[in-house]
Amino acid sequence: MSKSYENLPGAAGKARFFRPSRYEASAVFAGSPPRVTFEDEIFDLENISAAGAGCVARLRGDDLGVPAGSSGVLRLTQHGRELFLGAARKVRRLASHGAVNVGFELEANRFDLNWLIRENASVLAREGRAVAPDLEPSIAYKTFCADATAFLGGYLLRIQKHVAPIEDRCTADELNDIARDLAAAAETEWLDLIGRGNELTAEIHNDKQKRIAYKSYTERTVSQILLGGPGWARCYYKPAGYPGDYKIMNYGYDQRPEGDTVAQKFLHLLGMSASRFVITRMETVASLIADYAKRRGEDGGDFTVTSVGAGPARELKDLLEETAENTQWRVNLVDQEPAALDFAFDSIARLSDRDRLTIRGLNISFREMLRPTADNGVFVGNDVIYSSGLVDYLNPLLAQRFVKRLYDFVKPGGQVIIGNVNNLATGRIWPLEYVTDWSLYFRNEEEMRAMASDIPDAKVSVVSDPLEAIYFLVVEKPAD
């Protein structure tokens, strides 16, 4: 039934004061936002609305620049081309952690966002960013990209010559079978190529400027072929606004052909062969939790666990299979993506031994877990708190703080389990970071242990998944 106009609710609280919609600059400007200049200060654009912009700049000593409340001239430029010039006021200035965050409010004009986005894209397309000679990828890396491109092109040529002409005569199942056969034939050499890519990029990965140059070169060569596969395209274009959404995870779990043509299905399956670590990661975390339960309650038991960044939560099926029938689980699923929680709840409802699970979903961010609020009471006294794919995105200081916070939540004798992609040749640094621009902290064993370095009383260990693509930090609190 429709509501009458006088019964339609308005907003409450601060939301009553309307503000134009604000957008993340990296998303709306395809990863290359314009440069912001205010008077003599230069900033990186973080977010933008029709009425203003949020920016950040590195601090230079104690200089905080023009104070808040000051008016001046605001410019947006891309590759030297001026996209906007107008009067603005600095309404916010906050210094923290070596950076200053500022907010600008336009005083007379408004940003024409559609025009800015189109013009920024046009400038970028016309004037490709030149790479300094000392940042050019090595001959070895260029040769590797040529080998990878030739490898992929060889299979696509065979598909074009021998399969594409008869695709309209095949059923969907037949097309899937052809794609699976081709991917199986290519898999060994493809995984060897990934290993080579991992080794070559590991040499320069910690040099930010070289990393950018190598990524740009990879995107212009290998990525342009692989983006024909739906999985690769979703990872690269990030339609959810960030990488690693639950649909991408489900691609890796399901390992099914996706796409309309055999070529698309083949490329997608190559991506899935590189994504099997999401399965071994799931299986390993389920085994670690099951081992904890077996040690704590040999004849079953009742345990409370929390998954932070839960995604589709498919490890719960394995957890039930690996523990005794009289083991009961109270599970908190924490995720910032409501659709991921919807999927998880629907999947769990179909499990045959669903009655052993009591599920609670929490649509909150990890930052909210860091705050000492009453809402965090559900995490206190947990047996295990685990996070399989969140800390990969956190810088070392924030990761350390996060692990300490989770450790404070678990009960004596409890555990914190943290999964993180590693930086080994057996890992996935090349396809993730360089092919799909999926930026993560690829950590070594020492860096994993460093996340628990300020917890002196804990028992700390690091284990690997069977593919040696993921490290797990296990932090155990002493029992009373």
Q: Report the pLDDT value the prediction gives residue 365, as an integer from 0 to 100.
A: 76
pLDDT at 5: 38
In angstroms, the CA 281 to CA 257 distance is 21
Contacts of 258 (CB under 8 A, 6+ apart): 229, 230, 231, 251, 264, 265, 268
What is the pairing mode between strands 459-464 and 382-387? Answer: unpaired
SS (H, E, C) the chain: CCCCHHHCCCCCHHHHCCCCCCEEHHHHCCCCCCEEEECCEEEEEEEECCCEEEEEEECECCECCCCCCCEEEEEEEECCEEEEEEEEEEEEEEEECCEEEEEEEECCCCCCHHHHHHHHHHHHHHCCCCCCHHHCCCHHHHHHHHHHHHHHHHHHHHHHHHHHHHHHHCCHHHHHHHHHHHHHHHHHHHHHHHHHHHHHHHCCCCCHHHHHHHHHHHHHCHHHHHCCCHHHHHHHHCCCCCCCCHHHHHHHHHCCCCCCCHHHHHHHHHHHHHCCHHHHHHHHHHHHHHHHHHHHCCCCEEEEEEEECCCCCCHHHHHHHHCCCCEEEEEEEECCCHHHHHHHHHHHHCCCCHHHEEEEEECCCHHHHHCCCHHHHHHCCEEEEEECCCHHHCCHHHHHHHHHHHHHHEEEEEEEEEEEEECCCCCCHHHHHHHCCCCCCCECHHHHHHCCCCCCCCEEEEEECCCCCEEEEEEECCCC
Other C-beta atoms within 10 Å of 52: how many?
23
Q: Where are the domain boundaries for CATH 3.40.50.150 in the chain? A: 277-476
Per-residue pLDDT tens, the chain, 480 aa: give them: 444 434 445 444 444 444 568 888 888 887 789 999 998 788 889 899 999 999 988 754 445 567 888 899 999 988 878 899 889 999 988 876 557 889 999 988 899 999 999 999 988 887 655 556 668 999 999 999 999 999 999 999 999 999 999 999 999 999 999 999 999 999 999 999 999 999 999 999 999 999 999 999 999 999 999 999 999 999 998 887 777 888 999 999 999 999 999 999 999 999 999 999 999 999 999 999 999 999 987 667 899 999 999 999 999 999 999 999 999 999 999 998 899 999 999 999 999 999 999 999 998 876 777 666 656 778 899 999 999 989 999 999 999 999 999 999 999 999 999 999 999 999 999 999 999 999 999 999 999 999 999 998 999 999 999 999 999 999 999 997
d(CA 28, CA 32): 9
* Residue 132 CA: distances (Å) to CA of 143, 216, 408: 19, 13, 48
Task: Place domain 277-476 in its CATH homologous superfamily.
Answer: Vaccinia Virus protein VP39 (3.40.50.150)
| The predicted structure's pLDDT at residue 409 | 94
At the top level of CATH, which class does the domain 17-126 belong to? mainly beta
Would you state the pLDDT for residue 252? 95
Query: Which amino acid is present at 182?
Result: L
Residues sharing a CB contact under 8 Å with residue 167, sequence separation 6 or more, in sequence order: 175, 261, 262
Domain span(s) for CATH 2.40.10.220 in the chain: 17-126
Using CB atoms within 10 Å of the CB of residue 406, give its burial: 0 to 12 exposed, 13 to 18 middle, 19+ buried: buried
As a whole number of angstroms, the distance between CA 214 and CA 385 comes to: 37
DSSP secondary structure, 320-370, as one string: HHHS-TTEEEEEEEE-S-HHHHHHHHHHHHT-TTGGGEEEEEE---HHHHH
